[in-house]
A and B are shown apart, each in its own frame.
Chain A
Amino acid sequence: MKVLVAVKRVVDYNVKVRPKADGTDVDIANVKMSINPFCEIAVEEAVRLKEKGVVSEIIAVSMGPKQSQEQIRTALALGADRGILVETDAELQPLAVAKCLKAIVEKEEPQMVILGKQTIDGDNNQTGQMLGALTGMGQGTFASEVVVAGDTVKVTREIDGGLQTVELKLPAIVTTDLRLNEPRYASLPNIMKAKKKPLDTTTPDELGVDITPRTKTLKVEPPAERQAGVKVADVAELVEKLKNEAKVI
């Protein structure tokens, strides 16, 4: 079966992002960009399903500026077969992303769409669920295990109280949590091979999707800073401070 995997270009998780001085946006000029870690887990899961013989073709889709090609190439180097870039320099909100993905799903007819549960820039945790609504597919969000059996998939989900397992009819949506797998490193030969894999480019217009933002960011600011406190010499002093100064025990 065919699987679609969504990958997003985001600020690398090691970068501590700061607002611009004028508070209009975050300052991401000249910072390192990477594939969103949850999207990388999504690619890895698709590749493992292919290695098990469950999946026959993996399509990696990204949306955003031209440079998002780099993240598609990363997915191709990890084992995806071909890529699609929905190119735009405009702001893309999760609803618009879900609509673009829906248009691609209608064209490609994958049996499964695997996405990260959230991106580490916007921290929205929305796109997979919204794609589920728009396509009518079932959703297995925050997945820690994915087992395909016939025309269904069992997804074990990380929930607040522990783990929950649901069964979904295929085609279905899966969004990845951290424990689903540990992504491999792309080997140099695979990175070279990825450069020759097909990568098509389209646009939201060509897909017939209106990406007009529905929300407007009025301001960005740093959070209230926490001041470092004091170092205590030993456990006795710690207990004394917690009792008499902080009065929390």
Chain B
Amino acid sequence: MSILVIAEHDNAELKGATLNTIAAAKAIGSDIAVLVAGAGCAAVADAAAKVDGVNKVLLADNAAYEHQLAENVAQLVADLGKDYGHILAPATTTGKNMLPRAAALLDVQPISDIISVESADTFKRPIYAGNVIATVQSSDAVKVISVRATAFDAVSAEGGSAAVESVDIADDAGVSSFVGEELAKSDRPELTAASVVVSGGRGMQNGENFEMLYKLADKLGAAVGASRAAVDAGFVPNDMQVGQTGKIVAPDLYIAVGISGAIQHLAGMKDSKVIVAINKDEEAPIFSVADYGLVADLFEAVPEFEAKL
């Protein structure tokens, strides 16, 4: 049976999480189609056609799909996906918004956030904030799956030469419309794709103090994240939250500054290769997962760290 992968994009660029999702698809089978649904997104389809392992690209270019409204895209995915054995999307906020809706239209119980493919119908996924890993087998005819990008090594964006087919379906459910977006603008790498992440927690005390972390991050070429406590306190915006219900990151180096290490935070970063914790409380749970722990006042340690780089 063939596999349909839903591309993540912004109508201009194919997003990296798609490459990790295609990697998961390759672990299931070899007949892989990618759906690019959007508006004015032909360049994305061309990029998807070049991805290693992709056999076919379906391009649904219509105003109804411009902002990835779940009501419209889910209908399209269900219409196209019913003939596939598997439908995969990245477990991003876009994927998580749309995919369960498509699954319900197909009368399928989806499987969220898989971290490994055991066989064509059996997958592993974290539950209870990652404190337990469940092996789950699906009995549905179509398997609908969201993929945790950090658990799969991205396939190459080059090397493929798939054909692009236009799909002439325009599903506008007419119940929702796009009003606007406030997207964070940053010259730093994207949090989920960065090889180094510097995160701040409640210990940062206020938003201004995050400047220290931005400076450190810029020396390291790092992205900046935060714990839920720091976001809830209004120090930084929601898109910086790392954790069970925020972003999942797995960089080569994760530097946790003033973060105590609640299990909900650990769920979002404990698969990082090297973890550094800087905290003045030597009993902080973050030290139990840190490769290198520094018990120190962050307001002294962070500027010194930056100066020594």
Contact = CB atoms under 8 A, between A and B. Distances in A.
Q: Do A and B bind each other?
A: yes
Interface of A: 11, 13, 16-19, 26, 38, 93-95, 98, 117-118, 120-127, 129-134, 136-139, 141-142, 144, 154, 157-169, 172, 177-179, 213-223, 226, 228-232, 234-236, 238-239, 241-242, 246, 248-249
B182 A162 contact: yes
A157 B238 CA distance: 10
Contacts of A160: 92-94, 192, 239, 247
Contact of B126 (A142, A144, A223, A249): A223
A196 to B, nearest CB: 34
Contacts of B133: 220-223
A223 B4 CA distance: 29
B305 A235 contact: yes
A165 B182 CA distance: 9
Which 10 residue pairs of A and B lie closest in terms of their CB atoms, listed nearest first?
Answer: A229-B291, A214-B109, A133-B104, A130-B104, A138-B175, A129-B100, A126-B100, A138-B176, A165-B179, A248-B253
Contact of A179 (B67, B109, B232, B304): B232
Given A138-B71, A228-B289, A232-B294, A166 B92 contact: no
Contacts of A229: 275, 290-293
Contacts of A122: 127
Interface stretch (B21-29, B35-43, B137-145): B137-145
A168 B178 CA distance: 9
Contact of A139 (B70, B178, B247, B253): B70
Contacts, number: 263
Contacts of A137: 175
Contacts of A157: 93, 97
Interface residues of B, number: 90
B102 A166 contact: no
Contacts of B94: 159-160
B134 A219 contact: yes
B53 to A, nearest CB: 24
B112 A126 contact: yes
Nearest to A161: B183
Contact of A125 (B112, B136, B196, B294): B112
A165 B181 contact: yes
B104 A134 contact: yes
22 contacts: A16-B131, A18-B132, A93-B109, A94-B100, A95-B108, A124-B100, A129-B74, A133-B74, A162-B237, A165-B181, A166-B176, A169-B174, A214-B139, A216-B136, A229-B292, A229-B293, A231-B293, A235-B305, A239-B308, A242-B274, A246-B291, A246-B292
B46 to A, nearest CB: 23
Given A138-B176, A139-B176, A221-B135, 8 more contacts: A18-B132, A26-B132, A120-B129, A126-B110, A132-B70, A139-B70, A219-B135, A249-B196
Contacts of A217: 134-137
B295 interface: yes
A129 B179 contact: no
A125 B289 CA distance: 27
B135 to A, nearest CB: 4
Interface of B: 67, 69-71, 74, 92-94, 96-105, 107-113, 122, 126-140, 173-184, 192, 196, 220, 228, 231-232, 237-239, 244-245, 247, 252-253, 263-264, 270, 273-276, 282, 287-296, 301, 304-305, 308-309
B132 A220 contact: yes
B270 A178 contact: no
B158 to A, nearest CB: 25
Contacts of A158: 93, 238-239
Contact of A238 (B136, B176, B276): B276
Nearest to A170: B175
Given A19-B132, A125-B100, A130-B103, A136 B175 contact: yes
Contacts of A154: 179
Q: Which of A123, A177, A221 has the most CB of B within 10 A?
A: A123
